[in-house]
């Protein structure tokens, strides 16, 4: 089995659909053994033994709602089948001591590193307009893989304390991903649970740090219960300290509830966000460019220009950002980080913009990534169209409304190709040299930057904006216009089919707790630095143009990529290319087909049936050949055994014959010997 899986790894080294296809084939091969295990299993520890009821409920189309979630997550049968298959594959694969690392870093299963993976878990359309939250999907995936995890832990409980080269243990991974059920299982079987809760990675991160950074109050509670009293008290002090900071992933209500669960009654004294007034530009560049760049951008009114719920800084050092914001998972705005003279390259009067103003080169939709949520692009637009307020024609694909929708346009390039793009080439040089740790676009990112893996140019008109989504850490620079941001920590990140302005209006109905989403208005020249996995939606109140750069940070990379020691990777979970952070994001997001028309996951139920049927036929043929060979071998063995038995019988007969003859000769010699002895005795008596 290990040889077969390894061959699949070599045949499919790329991360993506090829990995899933390999997984389907491997699962099909081991399918028979798993079914036999279930049939004979009386202990309930066989992989998949206790999932029949849940799978039947899922196949009936019933909404699966984790009890601790504010909303339900409508999970598709295809995604449930994939999780089911991958968990069984993991439970039966020949993995090394990093088996739990493999499971927790398996793409598309538990950690869900971006909104595209969450979007694949449901079927989008007019009947599905709610936000699918990452944690709701994770909770269901946790329950599906829990029997397989227990099966592995019963065989080898020491797996929970294995650390990789970055000193990352499964306890760290479960805390960073936000998996309280698995974390509880790990701590229950660990011999040194209290020590594991305080273990530090090479980056100095503890499991509690990861829970608080991402807002996982359930994970923090499990860790507190496993700590010694003194360590738990120190952790509670940190909970209160983190919750009071502006832009914290841990809400005040969650922090106070967590403290109360430990028998203490303490209140959080919140701190006001740091606020910096807009930078007034003095003088004009040589070409006469003014603020607004000649685009149709009115001054924001009071309702649009609300105070930020996160810190706004004008000066921030690399050490301050790493220690006060990045390590605590807090977003921050850098006011006026890109000056007017640098932004004037994107004014209407610049040579680049004049040459492209009327070109209908932008494939736009009511969402910047329409295919991800089962929608299509609404047409091709030029910069003039977007500046003049041209909108999408036709009905709203989500609400079936005939109202006109403002388009949002995105252009993606690889970081290595930014210098070859007419738009990206106008950026300052620092923003175009994005490879490697030493090439962060801003000095403030030097301590956390590992390398960029996506560059995006956003353009939109009035009432446009991005839907709620999340991804890796990002730095966003706003060139023109005012962009309103709505932010949620990783605990409440998700994927929505509503545009940014729509989601902003309905945010109070999305089931978020008090205090979320955090809101902030990004002005021209401002840079927003967003921590990894933070959910965000945007709303533009006029023409807007900006750039976004997704990057790998030094902490996330140690959690997402497989350990160097885990060279034996029969499941081919992550390719070498992905493990180095070199991800190919494609040239244009507009080339993606809608999810409703494409088959993003080969492990659908129909595909699994066909694959399993082929594997069973091939297995039956192999078994028939093996049976014939076994029969021939049995006949040869029988002949050989009969010959050996006959030889043994002959040997025994010969031995008995030899013994009989020896006895006969002895009897024949006995009378003569006795006569001789009697004669000698009489002779001795006569002499005496």
pLDDT tens, position by position, 524-547: 999 999 999 999 999 998 899 999
Greatest CA separation found in the chain? 161
Cα dist. 557→270, 545, 550 in Å? 32, 30, 13
* Residue 106 binned pLDDT confidence (cut-offs 50, 70, 90): low
Give the pair of three-digit tokens for residue 312: 């706004």
Strands 311-313 and 332-334, bridge-based pairing? parallel
Instruction: Sort 191 into a burial class: Cβ within 10 Å, 0-12 / 13-18 / 19+.
Output: exposed
The predicted structure's pLDDT at residue 76: 76
Helix axes 207-214, 217-226, angle to 10 degrees: 160
Question: Which of 120, 133, 148 has the alpha carbon at shortest distance from 178?
Answer: 133
The predicted structure's pLDDT at residue 564: 43
Q: Which helix (H) or strand (E) holds 522?
A: strand 518-522
pLDDT digit string, tens, across residues 344-379: 989 988 888 888 888 877 888 888 888 888 888 888
The mean pLDDT of 149-165, rounded to a whole number, is 88
Least confident of 27-41, 120-134, 165-179, 185-199: 27-41
The predicted structure's pLDDT at residue 69: 43
For the question of whether the overall pTM of this predicted structure is more than 0.75, the answer is no
3-state percent breakdown (helix, strand, coil) of the chain, nearest 5: 45, 10, 40
When the pLDDT of each residue in the chain is averaged and rounded to a whole number, the result is 75
d(CA 680, CA 301): 148
4 has pLDDT over 60: no
* Residue 575 binned pLDDT confidence (cut-offs 50, 70, 90): very low
The predicted structure's pLDDT at residue 62: 28
Least confident of 189-198, 615-624, 638-647: 615-624
> Who's near 184: CB < 8 A, 6+ residues apart?
222
The mean pLDDT of 121-130, rounded to a whole number, is 74
Least confident of 130-139, 455-464, 614-623: 614-623
When mean pLDDT is compared over 301-305, 367-371, 568-572, the highest value belongs to 367-371
> Who's near 218: CB < 8 A, 6+ residues apart?
68, 178, 180
In order of their start, the domains of the chain are 311-564+579-591 (2.60.120.10)
The total number of residues written for the chain in this structure: 688
Q: Please give the distance of CA 558 from its chain centroid, rounded to a whole number.
A: 13
The predicted structure's pLDDT at residue 110: 79
d(CA 329, CA 347): 34
d(CA 532, CA 453): 13
pLDDT digit string, tens, across residues 208-237: 999 999 999 999 999 999 999 999 999 999
Give the pair of three-digit tokens for residue 652: 């025994």
Per the model's pLDDT, the better-predicted residue between 402 and 328 turns out to be: 328
Cα dist. 563→115, 159, 170, 190, 577 in Å? 24, 14, 12, 21, 14
Per the model's pLDDT, the better-predicted residue between 419 and 494 turns out to be: 494
583 has pLDDT over 50: no
Give the pair of three-digit tokens for residue 348: 């209407």
Question: Which of 393, 389, 390 has the alpha carbon at shortest distance from 378?
Answer: 393
Question: Which of 192, 261, 193 has the alpha carbon at shortest distance from 226?
Answer: 193
Least confident of 551-560, 596-605, 674-683: 596-605
* Backbone dihedral region for residue 333 (phi beyond 0: left; psi -120 to 50: alpha; all else: beta): beta
d(CA 364, CA 354): 20
Question: Which of 495, 424, 497, 551 has the alpha carbon at shortest distance from 126?
Answer: 497
Question: Which of 151, 69, 141, 88 has the alpha carbon at shortest distance from 110?
Answer: 141
Q: What is the DSSP letter of 593?
A: P
pLDDT digit string, tens, across residues 662-682: 887 777 766 666 667 777 777
Q: Please give the distance of CA 592 from its chain centroid, rounded to a whole number.
A: 21
Please, are residues 179 and 134 in contact by the beta-carbon 8 Å criterion?
A: no
pLDDT digit string, tens, across residues 184-214: 999 999 888 888 899 999 889 999 999 999 9
The mean pLDDT of 628-645, rounded to a whole number, is 88
């Amino acid at each position: 089995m290990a040889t077969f899986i390894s061959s699949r790894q070599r045949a499919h080294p790329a991360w993506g659909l090829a990995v899933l296809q390999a997984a389907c084939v491997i699962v099909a091969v081991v399918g028979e053994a798993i079914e036999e295990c279930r049939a004979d299993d009386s202990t309930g520890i066989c992989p998949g033994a206790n999932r029949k009821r849940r799978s039947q409920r899922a196949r009936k189309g019933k909404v699966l709602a984790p009890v601790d979630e504010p909303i339900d997550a409508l999970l598709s049968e295809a995604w449930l089948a994939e999780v089911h298959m991958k968990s069984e594959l993991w439970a039966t694969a020949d993995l090394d001591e990093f088996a739990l690392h493999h499971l927790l870093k398996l793409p598309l299963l538990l950690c869900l590193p971006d909104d595209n993976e969450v979007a694949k878990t449901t079927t989008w359309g007019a009947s599905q307009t709610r936000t699918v939250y990452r944690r709701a999907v994770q909770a269901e995936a946790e329950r599906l893989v829990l029997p397989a995890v227990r099966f592995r832990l019963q065989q080898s409980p020491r797996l929970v304390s294995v650390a990789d080269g970055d000193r990352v243990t499964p306890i760290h991974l479960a805390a960073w991903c936000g998996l309280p059920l698995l974390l509880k299982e790990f701590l229950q079987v660990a011999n040194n649970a209290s020590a594991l809760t305080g273990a530090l990675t090479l980056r100095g991160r503890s499991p509690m740090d990861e829970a608080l950074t991402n807002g996982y109050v359930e994970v923090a509670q499990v860790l507190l219960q496993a700590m010694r009293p003194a360590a738990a008290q120190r952790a509670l002090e940190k909970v209160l300290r983190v919750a009071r900071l502006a832009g914290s992933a841990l809400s005040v209500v969650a922090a106070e509830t967590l403290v109360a669960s430990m028998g203490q009654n303490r209140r959080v004294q919140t701190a006001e966000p740091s606020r910096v007034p807009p930078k007034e530009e003095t003088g004009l560049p040589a070409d006469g460019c003014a603020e607004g760049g000649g685009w149709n951008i009115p001054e924001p009114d009071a309702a649009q220009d609300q105070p930020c719920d996160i810190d706004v800084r004008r000066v921030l050092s690399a050490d301050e950002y790493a220690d006060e914001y990045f390590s605590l998972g807090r977003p921050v705005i850098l006011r006026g980080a890109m000056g007017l003279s640098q932004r004037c390259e994107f004014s209407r009067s610049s040579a680049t913009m004049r040459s492209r103003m009327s070109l209908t080169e932008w494939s736009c939709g009511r969402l910047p990534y329409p295919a991800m949520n089962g929608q299509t692009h609404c047409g091709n637009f030029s910069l003039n169209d977007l500046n003049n307020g041209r909108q999408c024609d036709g009905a709203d694909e989500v609400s079936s409304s005939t109202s006109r929708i403002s388009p949002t346009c995105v252009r993606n390039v690889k970081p290595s190709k930014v210098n070859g793009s007419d738009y990206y080439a106008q950026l300052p040089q620092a923003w175009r040299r994005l490879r490697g740790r030493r090439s962060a676009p801003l000095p403030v990112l030097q301590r956390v930057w590992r390398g960029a893996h996506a560059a995006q140019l956003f353009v939109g008109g009035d009432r446009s904006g991005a839907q709620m989504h999340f991804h890796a850490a990002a730095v966003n620079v706003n060139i023109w216009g005012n962009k309103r941001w709505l932010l949620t920590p990783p605990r409440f990140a998700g994927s929505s089919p509503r545009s940014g302005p729509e989601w902003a209006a309905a945010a109070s109905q999305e089931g978020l707790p008090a205090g979320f989403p955090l809101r902030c208005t990004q002005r021209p020249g401002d840079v927003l630095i967003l921590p990894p996995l933070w959910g965000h939606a945007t709303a533009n109140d006029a023409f807007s143009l900006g750039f976004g750069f997704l990057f790998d940070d030094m902490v996330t990379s140690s959690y997402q990529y497989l350990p160097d020691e885990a060279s034996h990777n029969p499941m081919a979970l992550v390719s070498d290319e992905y493990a180095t952070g070199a991800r190919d994001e494609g040239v244009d997001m507009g080339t993606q087909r809608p999810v409703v028309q494409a088959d993003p996951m080969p492990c659908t139920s129909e595909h699994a049936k066909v694959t399993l049927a082929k594997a069973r036929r091939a297995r039956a043929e192999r078994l028939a050949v093996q049976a014939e060979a076994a029969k021939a071998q049995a006949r040869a063995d029988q002949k050989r055994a009969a010959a050996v038995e006959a030889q043994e019988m002959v040997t025994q007969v010969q031995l008995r014959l030899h013994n009989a003859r020896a006895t006969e000769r002895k009897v024949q010699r006995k009378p003569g010997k006795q006569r001789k002895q009697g004669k000698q005795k009489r002779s001795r008596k006569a002499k005496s």
